[in-house]
Amino acid sequence: MTHHLSAQEQIEALEGVLVAARQRHLEGCAACAGEAAALRTVWGDVREAGGIPDPSPLFWDHFQARVHSAIAEDAARTAVGSPWWQGSVRSFLVVGAAALVVIAVAIAPRVVPSVAVPDDTLASAASEIDALTDQVQWQFMVDVLGSLETDAVQSVLVPSARGVDAAFETLSGQERATFLRLLEAELSAGSE
C-alpha cells in the first residue's frame, strides 16, 4: 500500500495535474478519493460564490481623478514633511538622551565604588604604560622618576610638614626672601 496523498498532491488532483502513479493510488484509495471529492465540492461552492457587484460606471469615470488627487495629496504631504509633533517628539528624545549622557558622566565618578584592583589588571595597566614610553615626554618623566629613590619620590608627591620645614631650612637668605614675597603675593591675591 502506498502513502495517502499529501496536501500538495490533493491540490494537484483537484487541478488535474497529479502524476500518473499517484492518480492510480487515488483511484484505488477510498480515503483519498473521499477527501478529493470533498475538496472538489468546496471548490465548486467557492467558485459559485465569486460574483462581485459591478460598481457604477460613474465610479470608473471618477476613479482616475480620484487616484490623481490622492497622488497629489501624498506628494504634498511628503514634501511638507513629518507632522510638527513628530519633529518635536524626536527633538525631545534627542535632547533627553543627551541630558542623560551628561548626567551619567557627571555622577559617574561619585557612584563608582572603590574596589580592589586585581594584580593582573595592574600588570595589564603597566604594560600599557610601557607602551606609552615611546612618547618623548613620557620618557622624560620616566627617566626623572627612575633616577630618584622611593623616599625622595614620596617626599615630592606627598610632602610631610617636617619635610617642608627641612626643605625650607636648606634655602639661602635670598631664596627665603623670594619665597616669602611670592607667598605674600599669593595670600593677598587669594583674599581678594
Partner 1 sequence: MGRTSPWSTRVTTARSMPVVTPARTSGDDYTAADDRTLIEAFRAGHREAFDVIVSRHQRQVYQVCYRFVRNHEDAADLAQDVFVRAFKGLKNFKGDSALSTWLYRVGVNACLNRAAVKRPLTEPLEPSRHVDDRSDDPFHVVARGEKAAVVRRAIAQLPPKQRATLLLRVYQDLSHEEIAGILGSSVGAVKANFFHALGNLKRLLQS
Q: Which residues bind partner 1 (CB under 8 A)?
A: 7-8, 10-12, 14, 38-39, 41-43, 45-53, 55, 59-60, 63-68, 70-72, 74-76, 78-79
- 17/180 with CB nearer partner 1: 17
C-beta of residue 40 within 8 angstroms of C-beta of residue 14: yes
Residue from 64, 15, 66, 53 nearest 36 by CA? 15
Q: How far is the CB of 38 from partner 1 (least distance, A)?
A: 6
Q: How far is the CB of 46 from partner 1 (least distance, A)?
A: 5
Q: How far is the CB of 18 from partner 1 (least distance, A)?
A: 12
For CA atoms 57, 63, 65, 66, the dihedral sign is: positive
- 37/111 with CB nearer partner 1: 37
Strand positions, DSSP E, 25-97? none
- 39/153 with CB nearer partner 1: 39
C-beta of residue 105 within 8 angstroms of C-beta of residue 97: no
The number of C-alpha atoms within 13 Å of 172 and in the hemisphere containing its C-beta is: 2
Q: How far is the CB of 62 from partner 1 (least distance, A)?
A: 10
- 17/145 with CB nearer partner 1: 17
Q: How far is the CB of 17 from partner 1 (least distance, A)?
A: 10
C-alpha–C-alpha distance, residues 171 and 174, integer Å:
8
C-beta of residue 31 within 8 angstroms of C-beta of residue 4: yes
What are residue 111's phi and psi, to 5 degrees?
A: -100, -10
